[in-house]
Structure 1
Amino acid sequence: MAFRVLIIGGSVAGLTLANILEQYGIDYLLLEKYDAIAPQLGASIALLPYGMQIMDQIGLLNRLLDIGEGVDCTLLRGPAAERLKDFDMFGDWLEELFGTRMTFMERQQLVQVLYDHLKDKSKVLTSCAVQTIDQTDGQVQVTTTNGDVFSGQLVVGADGVHSRVREEMWRHEAMSNLRFDVEEMRRSITCTYRCMFGISPKPEQHILNHTFKVYHHNASYLCADGPMGNMYWFAFFKNERQTTGRDIPRYTAEDEAALLAERGGDALFNDIKFKDLYESRSRATLVPLEEFVLEKSFHKRVVLIGDSFHKMLPLIGHGGNSAIESAALLADLLMDELQQNKSPPTNASIERALSTFDRRRRPRTRALQQASLDLQQLEALEDPVKKFMMLRVASSLPFEKLALLGYIQSVTPSHTLHYLPAPTRKGRFPFTDGGVQVDERPTSVTLTSCILLLTLALIGYFTSQKAISDSIIPVYALWVVESYRPAFLLSPLSL
């Protein structure tokens, strides 16, 4: 009996998996509920180095660099559009460290490129919305809303945050485990923020290849260059209260209008206000921002990847890149099983592979989810401490060093495909499953250093001593960061 994977969902995660399986020689069918691949939903996506290196391995790097726009410089601005910090070398540093820089493109374009790269497009079926999933010994059957039935040995739910596959998986879990509470699982999906994302023409005053991040109370903005004279923008807003599960709202045109009336005057950059971008938009959508990483990503022969399994705030860009990474890891684990066994994988071997997938993905995606949440809370200036840290302390630090250190720790513990050639673009830091290890410093020393750093910032702020903020704080902050390096063990930086 042959081994076939049924992929549910034809967006980034599903089509990435389809491309890898095709190149691995693993049979699959992809079922997409819409009547066309790559519908225009008005969203953009930023490919980070750890997502781009998988695109490189499957042969899409040059095509994506052609249609995307790389980030050269990132500019930080405060509530009055005042300058906080400019990362002039941000793009160059990313490329030197990891081989590629952050690259923005329309999500529709990425999906289209992934689809076009498939050799056998008969494996992709549209207008196939899932109704039920049934599992028998060694086989899974998917029945669609139009009555078609498809059979395979594994179902992969890549159908997004409102996943039908996830609901079916939970239904089967509840049937076999009376203690399993589906409603409790739904309530683990939370929503604290909402986002309006859109595409507008670049303002005349805008400098090419520059990305702006703007901080307001309970709101933050990300405005990035896109190709063909477009600007991609994201406006993040904290909700009045957190909602969960079925209570998470869906927004209407009236909600958009109310939000614009409330926040349209927010200053962004170069005399541009939020309402200026919105009013010149070609597309814009207001959506809730769900957050979760499920306690378990699979049940028997059904597994979830991408937003159906893990969803995080999008301000760093980890969501789409994590979906690509999940697809790559799952494909490698399936290939491992098929290489080791000439006969089709048994229930035990499938469960072993999916358990490994679950064990490796949950810690990584939880760390990325928490990092995204922490940064969102800071950038939205949610309380006086966070406001002071972002507007006063961070602007006095060598922030680009801290940002790159964070990127190193999030980018390098990534997965590269084991059965395809290594990425052609390489930087100073290798992509490894283990990541870059940072030597531990005693907690007491780190805490004392941070307290002293904050004290210097407070003195500089309340006494208006620019000598402190312009020279002493950057030097001391540089020591706090760089003294971790083993190469400086015998230097004064290690003291």
Structure 2
Amino acid sequence: MDSRLKVLIVGGSITGLSLALMLERVGIDFLLLEAHVDIAPELGASIGLCPNGLRILDQLSCYDSLQEKSQNHSVNNSWYGTLAGRKVKEFEGLGGAVIERHGYPLSFIDRRMLLQHLYDSLRQKHKVLTGKRVVSIVKSDDVAVMIRTEDGSSYTGDVLVGADGIHSRVRREMARLDPAHDYIESASLHAHWACLFGISRNVPGIAKGDVGYVFGNRFSYLLGDGPGDRSYFFLTKRLQKRVFGSDIPRFSDKDKEAFVKPHLDDHITSGLRFRDMYDKRMSSVLVPLEEIVYKRWHYGRIIAIGDSSSKMLPITGQGGNSAIENAAVLTNNLFDCLKTSPQNKPTVEQLDTVFEKVQELRTPRLQKFVTMANKRQAVDALLTPELEEFALTRMPQLQAEVILRGFQTEFGQAASLNMLPVPYRPRTVPFADEQPQEKSKKGDIMAKL
């Protein structure tokens, strides 16, 4: 498509770079503005990639190269354990079963590795500008939207997409431009957990291809093997109380050390204390874990997606994959809109319809993921006697098929790019939009989620 539409993207996040790559592939002009000088800054975090996100990356012709860069790393075994270093349940070969069923693996890589790969996959790298922190939306009217950056530059486009995270400047600007509505939702945005994310090297107690979950008392660990000599850790802990809006804390280095100190001697595996892993860290960061699915995503020519529109706990690994799905659904609907727009220039009314459709399609799935992650985190942190009994007594009796059926629900209703082919990957369980009866129901929301 040769489009006159220009999309401004604020934020070189997974959402923002995925969207840029999608727009480029389908012929829609874009300009991405990233606040950091480095497009892939070292922020101490890893990301779990699942079949629902990887299928879209495959459509964008960057799945095979990502696998090569990550040394074909994938999860093979999953296990659950206690702070005594005892495994209560192990699912051997779980990753292989996921590939057989869904065509793609489960994997852990550095978040910056994915960001760099998405950027490297762009042909028009000159359309990604770093060191451009957006400070205001100058105007959003019937003709265009204009933004200004901290260095005094201004940029104009037809659509503005906020992909700038939970502390979104774009969302705050929407609230300023449209004070009649609540875009901030400080009474709903909340955090009841905090997490220490980290990347370590040369940790001997984390087996290749393993992902482990360690039950604690109001806290838990997620441990993952990464490419090469990397290992990842997530130490998630319950805050003393649920906090909302502006009361959600920002943590200092001193806060981080206080957070870590009581856990250094935790036996996270047999023969491995958390101290052993933490001392080998390359990077780490302590953050509050916000949770929300915002009720308002858009205003005029502006829409916020990814973490700017929803946030979930990381334990299920669906945050990044959902962000990729969000970008795909927005691309689908912009692409369809341009087919009927005079001179490929949608009106504000047409864009309002597009944005509302994107929100309607995505909200149920995101709400499901937020709820699912919250319930799962409560189990791993043994929040109640009932959950402790389930984790330590009933979970050891679960069969792998139960986990795989859960994955089928989690992955099966995923979005994809409607205008690009899905490369053939053998799988026994098709995605919903690959099933003939779903393809025939073009108006069916579930076929597009």
What TM-score do you get using the length of structure 2 for normalisation? Answer: 0.93
- Where do residues 315-354 of structure 1 align in structure 2 (5 Å cutoff)? 315-343=315-343, 344-354=345-355
The Cα of 1:283 is off from its aligned counterpart by 0.9
* 2:165 counterpart of 1:136: no
SS of 1:354's equivalent? helix
Greater Rg, structure 1 or structure 2? 1
* Alignment equivalent of 1:159, drawn from 137, 151, 164: 164
The Cα of 1:436 is off from its aligned counterpart by 13
The answer to whether the 8 A contact 1:130-1:143 is kept is: yes
Determine the structure 2 residue equivalent to 1:118.
122
* 2:24 counterpart of 1:22: yes
- Equivalenced residues, count: 431
Provide the C-alpha distance between the structure 2 equivalents of 1:17 and 1:206, rounded to a whole number of angstroms.
Answer: 34
Determine the structure 1 residue equivalent to 2:97.
93
The Cα of 1:206 is off from its aligned counterpart by 3.5
Q: Counterpart of 1:80 in structure 2: which amino acid?
A: A
Q: Counterpart of 2:38 in structure 1: which amino acid?
A: A
The Cα of 1:406 is off from its aligned counterpart by 1.3
* 2:65 counterpart of 1:63: yes
Provide the C-alpha distance between the structure 2 equivalents of 1:425 and 1:7, rounded to a whole number of angstroms.
Answer: 31
Higher relative contact order at CA 8 Å, sep ≥6: structure 1 or structure 2? 2
The Cα of 1:19 is off from its aligned counterpart by 0.5
SS of 2:250's equivalent? coil
The answer to whether the 8 A contact 1:412-1:436 is kept is: no
The answer to whether the 8 A contact 2:86-2:270 is kept is: no
* 2:175 counterpart of 1:170: yes
Determine the structure 2 residue equivalent to 1:150.
155
CA RMSD of aligned residues (A): 1.7
Determine the structure 1 residue equivalent to 2:411.
411
| Residues 387/187 of structure 1: CA separation in 2 closer, same or farther (3 Å cut) | same
- Where do residues 238-277 of structure 1 align in structure 2 (5 Å cutoff)? 238-277=238-277
Determine the structure 1 residue equivalent to 2:109.
105
Q: Counterpart of 1:102 in structure 2: which amino acid?
A: L
Kindly indicate which of the two structures has a greater share of residues assigned to helix: 1
The Cα of 1:274 is off from its aligned counterpart by 1.5
Provide the C-alpha distance between the structure 2 equivalents of 1:326 and 1:335, rounded to a whole number of angstroms.
Answer: 14
Determine the structure 2 residue equivalent to 1:491.
none
* 2:87 counterpart of 1:83: yes
In the TM superposition, structure 1's runs of 4+ consecutive aligned residues that sit over 3 Å from their partners are: 433-437
Structure 2 unaligned residues grouped into runs of 5+: 438-449
Deviations 1:131-178 (A, max 9, x none): 11121113111111221111111100000111100101122221xx2x
Provide the C-alpha distance between the structure 2 equivalents of 1:70 and 1:292, rounded to a whole number of angstroms.
Answer: 30
Structure 1 unaligned residues grouped into runs of 5+: 438-495
The Cα of 1:43 is off from its aligned counterpart by 1.0
The answer to whether the 8 A contact 2:203-2:280 is kept is: no
Provide the C-alpha distance between the structure 2 equivalents of 1:386 and 1:53, rounded to a whole number of angstroms.
Answer: 34
SS of 1:222's equivalent? strand
Provide the C-alpha distance between the structure 2 equivalents of 1:434 and 1:248, rounded to a whole number of angstroms.
Answer: 42
The Cα of 1:2 is off from its aligned counterpart by 2.7
Determine the structure 2 residue equivalent to 1:186.
186
What TM-score do you get using the length of structure 1 for normalisation? Answer: 0.84
> Identity percentage over the alignment?
36
Determine the structure 2 residue equivalent to 1:5.
7
The Cα of 1:203 is off from its aligned counterpart by 2.5
